[in-house]
Amino acid sequence: MSDKQYKLTFCDGSGCLKNQAREFRRVFEEELQRQQLQQNVQMHLSGCLGMCGKGPILIVNPGYIMYGHLRLEDASEIVREHLVNGRPVSRLIIQEDHLYNRFFRIFGDSEFFGRQMRIALRNCGVIDPEKIDDYLAMRGYEALAKVLTEMTPQQVIEEVKKSGLRGRGGAGFPTGLKWEYTAKQSDPEKYVICNADEGDPGAFMDRSAIEGDPHTVLEGMIIGGYAIGSRQGIIYIRAEYPLAVQRLKKAIEDARREGFLGERILGTDFSFDIRICLGAGAFVCGEETALIYSIEGARGMPRPRPPYPSVSGLFGKPTLINNVETWANIPVIIIDGADWFSRIGTATSKGTKVFALAGKVRNTGLVETPMGTTLRDIVFGIGGGIPNGKKFKAVQTGGPSGGCLPEQYLDTQIDYESLAKAGSIMGSGGMIVIDEDSCMVRMARFFVEFTQDESCGKCTPCREGTKRMLEILTRITRGQGRPGDIEKLERLGTMIQKASLCGLGQSAPNPVLSTLRNFREEYEEHIHQKKCRSHECTALLTYVVQDNCVGCGACKRVCPVNAVSGNRKEKHTIDPKLCIKCGQCYDACKFNAIAKV
């Protein structure tokens, strides 16, 4: 039996939990007991490392050996071979296993981690998010102590302004200016809000950041409260994030107990507390004025601005609203200084940006890169490129409010101005990769259906305009497109952008307008040729039996409507009038004798 001491870190983020991470840990612990190795092992939990598609993940130290794609039966092999015999199980090791620390213990020196620079996510995957001592060991609350003992509120604001930090919620408004506007209001009662209501399809940045490092959000909010003269903070988070909510509650309780929240924080005259407000999942409540209405108990609907929340926000009081990622940057700016932070990124977009990389890419997950990194570096560097030998077609940035950018934009730098110039937006950080098998008309329809369904209905351009766009796109994907539909979509999109009340409506047409601009030929094929080149629009599909059919009858047996006919060992045929285009014959054929045309 080996006397060597090991530290085991089990990922306890949502991505790993859905793949039985806790069940794996239980089986692992049982195996340790059987091998009588409990005294040789220290077991720790962590939040999401970002490699969401490779969970469950286990890191074994010394050596930082990272195991992934673990199954319950792998536990005994790792214990026996690695912990007892000192031989790592090579078939289970994730190749990105050489880890390096840039800020405190930030991962790098590999394709996935080495191209990143983690600031907002600096502690995610490193600390146990439910242990405040772990956060304190990583210089946690040091920034708070510094501002309360060495800096005036105005000095804090000036430091944030000097850093060049812009709001990471999507609009990119300078954070320091927003703080300054709120601080200048004479009302003695002010509020600080963390907007953790992310609702973009494929986006999970806020959830993972909170699950992995809740204290950094609290610390950022407390510093913001000190800077503007507020005593009350609110975290607005959707109820669909139970693990994030649980860890926030635990972090708030621990921070109060240790004197970082509540009355006379760290023995000073400053008092500040934070409470949680659960949202019901309305996408529109990500817009700050709709979020305020929701907290007040009213229906979440945007209101015209001005006045802006910094002047008249929650309950009519001056209110400072930033999203999770913005707050997570604040402690770093205070500790390492605005000069250091402002050297990262581009001239107009400072720092880093967190992205949820999803879709047709090898390495899906959460990544953080310096502003100015190109789309190519993220998709083909960090993301590892397109799987299954497929070709890259487009990348959707900015979620349902963003645009689809084709291959010629891959070398576009990721910053607010460059993405806008290319016809998309930064958004909150959703990034969906699309390959050659995807239909861009269908993709545009998916996003418009989402925004139309999530429209609050307050203003006519968004409520009715997106509905008309969805109707036209639905017709086109069903083979019922008409000449002039493209022009109607362009007119509707432009009108909705100009006349809608809030950012949701103003950006809702972006997926349609960007695909019309970059993939117009696909719309024309759908309308004039009744053809979908990607074969995703089933109404435009026809299944045809080719000459290499051997007459095995597999397609005939699975057809639910008896549309396939033919004798055994003879070429079969499919009656297009009876075919419901379910695709079962195509899937059943082992000889690739059925084609989609």
CATH topology of domain 352-435: Ubiquitin-like (UB roll) (3.10.20)
Distance separating alpha carbons of residues 241 and 205, to the nearest angstrom: 12
Domains 132-341 and 352-435 fall in the same CATH topology: no
pLDDT tens digit at each of 597 positions of the chain: 457 899 999 999 988 999 999 999 999 999 999 988 888 899 999 998 888 888 899 999 998 899 999 999 999 999 999 999 989 999 999 864 333 333 333 333 356 777 899 999 999 989 999 999 999 999 999 999 999 999 999 999 999 999 999 999 877 899 999 999 999 999 999 999 999 998 777 778 899 999 999 999 999 999 999 999 999 999 999 998 999 999 999 999 999 999 999 999 999 999 999 999 999 888 888 889 999 999 999 999 999 889 999 999 999 999 999 999 999 999 999 999 999 999 999 999 999 999 999 999 998 889 999 999 999 999 999 999 999 999 999 999 988 888 899 999 999 999 999 998 998 888 878 899 999 999 999 999 999 999 999 888 899 999 999 999 999 999 999 999 999 999 999 999 999 999 998 888 899 999 999 999 999 999 999 999 999 999 999 889 899 999 999 999 999 999 999 999 999 999 999 999 999 999 999 999 999 999 988
Q: What would the 3-class secondary structure string for 395-435 be?
A: EEECHHHCEEEEHHHCCCECCHHHHHHHCCCCCCCEEEEEE
Tokens of 571: 């070429």
Query: Cα separation of 32 and 57, whole Å?
Result: 18
Exposure of 86 in the CB half-sphere (CA atoms within 13 A): 5
Structure token digits, residue 60? 């074994």
CATH number of the structural domain 541-596: 3.30.70.20
Residues 133 and 136: their CA atoms lie apart, in Å, by 5
Domain ranges of the chain: 6-97, 132-341, 352-435, 440-529, 541-596
Please give the single-letter amino acid code of residue 270. F
CA distance 579 to 70: 42
Q: Which residues contact 269 (CB under 8 A, 6 or more apart)?
A: none
Tokens linked to 236 = 């607005």
Q: How far is CA 576 from CA 366, 559, 564, 584, in A?
A: 45, 13, 9, 14
Query: What's 391's DSSP letter?
Result: P
For the chain, give percent helix, strand, coil, nearest 5: 45, 15, 40
The position carrying tokens 């022009």 is: 487
- Closest by CA to 555, choosing from 587, 524, 522, 515, is 587
pLDDT attached to residue 273: 97
Q: Indicate the class that CATH gives domain 132-341.
A: alpha beta
pLDDT on residue 105: 37
Task: Please name the residues in contact with 333: beta carbons below 8 A apart, sequence gap of 6 or more.
Answer: 159, 160, 163, 165, 341
Question: What is the bridge-based pairing of β-strands 65-67 and 191-196?
Answer: unpaired
The Cα–Cα gap between 362 and 386 comes to 6
Looking at CATH, the fold of the domain delimited by 6-97 is given as Glutaredoxin (3.40.30)
Q: Where are the beta strands (DSSP E) in 21-98?
A: 41-46, 58-61, 65-67
Level-2 CATH architecture, domain 440-529 = Up-down Bundle (1.20)
- What is d(CA 126, CA 102) in angstroms, rounded to the nearest whole number? 13
